[in-house]
């Protein structure tokens, strides 16, 4: 399993997005910033509380679109693209257009 946490703060609903990739399953988790761990981007947000989760299979033809739509509900399209770029570096999407 590959995991990355994006600490985006005010530009993201909740402030934290965690991506977990297990095989071909990509899970995007929206979390509320854990203020007890601190307010800086260096703070440990691993115990932040989850408020939403979306998952998609990498072999799905609409994988990138589904991820983008879910992520833009959490943050701006700029940061959604940054998260998707990282995901694409770890797994191949099912569509020939990605």
3-26 pLDDT, tens digit each: 999 999 889 999 999 999 999 999
- pLDDT score of 38: 82
Q: Which parts of the chain register pLDDT below 50?
A: 98
Residues 6+ apart with CB under 8 A from 96: none
- pLDDT score of 95: 60
State how far the alpha carbon of 41 is from the alpha carbons of 16, 23, 44, 72, 87, in Å. 10, 29, 8, 21, 21
- pLDDT score of 11: 93
- pLDDT score of 97: 52
User: Is this prediction's pTM over 0.85?
Assistant: yes
Neighbours of 73 (CB within 10 A): 12
- pLDDT score of 64: 93
């Amino acid at each position: 399993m590959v995991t990355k946490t994006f600490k985006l703060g005010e530009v993201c609903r909740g402030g934290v997005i965690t991506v977990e990739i297990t095989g071909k399953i990509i899970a995007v988790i929206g979390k509320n910033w854990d203020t007890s761990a601190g307010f800086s981007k260096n703070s440990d947000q691993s115990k932040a509380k989850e408020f939403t989760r979306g998952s998609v299979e990498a072999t799905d033809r609409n994988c990138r679109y589904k991820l983008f739509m879910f992520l833009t509900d959490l943050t701006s399209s700029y940061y959604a693209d940054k998260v998707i770029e990282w995901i694409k570096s770890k797994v191949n999407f099912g569509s020939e257009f990605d």
